[in-house]
Chain A
């Protein structure tokens, strides 16, 4: 885990927890694998193995210019990414103003070890980032607990009505949104995953996503492939392969937590428009 010592959180903000730490572990493991030169197989080769065996996929930190975290909450993950990747620009987004303030405070508390190339954006998922806003690494930290759709929708409406405001009336809704994932716990995950895949820089980009077993990771991965094809069809281009695997896994209290890693595996060499696939 990156040495994040002063994390800010409070009313209505999800405190750094096992899932938060696991997301950082996944990134750190891949960076360490590059530094030590172990596990230097291609994403393609890694993807051909069983999907559910977790293993590192080396990541050269020098290749990472930009990182976005969706649902940055306390800011633990964004600040860790900024410390682990001092050359990169890191953006954290969250729909709760309280969470945004917490993210900013946590980034500021580590200003000396972060490069200062960071920002926080109050929004839902990645809405408001222009299409093609390029991110080499996307970290998705969604609410994943299965709930009813209504529970999720009501909290979302409350927060939208108040512009995400950090006022006492929105605390309950803001906190519900830190964990309520809707049906199968994936309603928010699917939206965030779709936005995240759109934001991936075309070549060599990767996305890390926290899931629990109830989210049905294999089904999510299948949906990700559909989204990926759609993104590239919109651009009139043949899609690079999207490989996925479990990067790290842990059992925490009653949850089986995993971080899924999605990697765009081909270099962007076909610039010409493709009319049929």
Chain B
């Protein structure tokens, strides 16, 4: 699971209101190389929740993301774009869990795949 994917997920247990973002418990993290594509980053940036992204990265001891992002940085700050790219796409949580911020329910991440399937009584 990439942090990009994590940024798009929330807990969907019926009745839960504090559902975003999931806390990430990482037992095994891998790095995979992904083609650097600044245009992709510029397109995805407005769709992300930056605070959730930065907080989650820091929880995984991934430093280097700024508190806020300016247009100028997205346009031409190569060092920023490289760090953004790396943390967004090249870090894969292989084994661990996503934890609902309200209920503490653990959703396992196995072989890089988060499993958000609910039990019948949670739907």
Interface residues of A (CB under 8 A from B): 65-66, 86-89, 91, 95, 97, 100-101, 104, 115-117, 119-124, 127-130, 133-134, 157, 159-161, 163-164
Interface residues of B (CB under 8 A from A): 1-2, 4-5, 8-12, 20, 32-35, 37, 39-40, 43-44, 47, 89, 110-120, 123
CB-defined contacts of A91 to chain B, threshold 8 Å: 5, 8
Q: Is the CB of B40 within 8 A of A89?
A: yes
Q: List 25 A-B contacts (CB under 8 A).
A: A65-B44, A87-B39, A89-B4, A89-B44, A91-B5, A97-B113, A97-B115, A100-B115, A104-B112, A115-B34, A116-B89, A119-B5, A120-B113, A121-B5, A122-B113, A122-B117, A127-B118, A128-B9, A128-B11, A128-B12, A128-B116, A130-B9, A130-B10, A133-B47, A159-B117
Q: Is the CB of A122 within 8 A of B44?
A: no
Q: Is the CB of B116 within 8 A of A127?
A: yes
Q: Is the CB of B35 within 8 A of A116?
A: yes
Q: A116-B34, A116-B89, A122-B116 are in contact. List 8 more A-B contacts (CB 8 A).
A: A66-B44, A120-B112, A120-B113, A123-B117, A130-B9, A133-B47, A160-B117, A161-B120
Name the one of A65, A104, A133, A164 contacting B117, with C-beta atoms under 8 angstroms.
Answer: A164
Closest B residue by C-beta to A160: B120
CB-defined contacts of B35 to chain A, threshold 8 Å: 86, 115-116
Name the one of A65, A95, A116, A160 contacting B43, with C-beta atoms under 8 angstroms.
Answer: A65
Name the one of B8, B20, B114 contacting A122, with C-beta atoms under 8 angstroms.
Answer: B114
CB-defined contacts of B89 to chain A, threshold 8 Å: 116-117
Q: Is the CB of B119 within 8 A of A121?
A: no
Minimum Cβ distance to chain B for residue A98 (Å): 11
Q: How far is the CA of A65 from the CA of B114 in the complex (A)?
A: 22
Q: Is the CB of B116 within 8 A of A119?
A: no
Name the one of A88, A127, A160 contacting B119, with C-beta atoms under 8 angstroms.
Answer: A160
Q: Is the CB of A121 within 8 A of B44?
A: no
Closest A residue by C-beta to B35: A115
Q: How far is the CA of A249 from the CA of B12 in the complex (A)?
A: 36
CB-defined contacts of B2 to chain A, threshold 8 Å: 119
Q: Is the CB of B116 within 8 A of A123?
A: yes
Q: Is the CB of B37 within 8 A of A127?
A: no
Q: Is the CB of B115 within 8 A of A122?
A: yes
CB-defined contacts of B119 to chain A, threshold 8 Å: 160-161, 163
Closest B residue by C-beta to A120: B113
CB-defined contacts of A163 to chain B, threshold 8 Å: 115, 117, 119
Q: Is the CB of B120 within 8 A of A115?
A: no
Minimum Cβ distance to chain B for residue A166 (Å): 9
Closest A residue by C-beta to B20: A130
CB-defined contacts of B32 to chain A, threshold 8 Å: 116
Q: How far is the CA of A91 from the CA of B119 in the complex (A)?
A: 23
Minimum Cβ distance to chain A for residue B39 (Å): 7
Q: Is the CB of A129 within 8 A of B8?
A: yes
Minimum Cβ distance to chain B for residue A34 (Å): 17
Minimum Cβ distance to chain A for residue B18 (Å): 13
Closest A residue by C-beta to B46: A134
Q: Is the CB of A124 within 8 A of B117?
A: yes
CB-defined contacts of A86 to chain B, threshold 8 Å: 35
Q: How far is the CA of A232 from the CA of B112 in the complex (A)?
A: 34
Q: Is the CB of B40 within 8 A of A87?
A: yes
Q: How far is the CA of A160 from the CA of B115 in the complex (A)?
A: 11
Q: Is the CB of A121 within 8 A of B120?
A: no
Q: How far is the CA of A101 from the CA of B114 in the complex (A)?
A: 11
Name the one of B9, B11, B115 contacting A164, with C-beta atoms under 8 angstroms.
Answer: B115
CB-defined contacts of A104 to chain B, threshold 8 Å: 111-113
Minimum Cβ distance to chain A for residue B45 (Å): 10
Q: Is the CB of A100 within 8 A of B113?
A: yes
Q: How far is the CA of A251 from the CA of B44 in the complex (A)?
A: 39
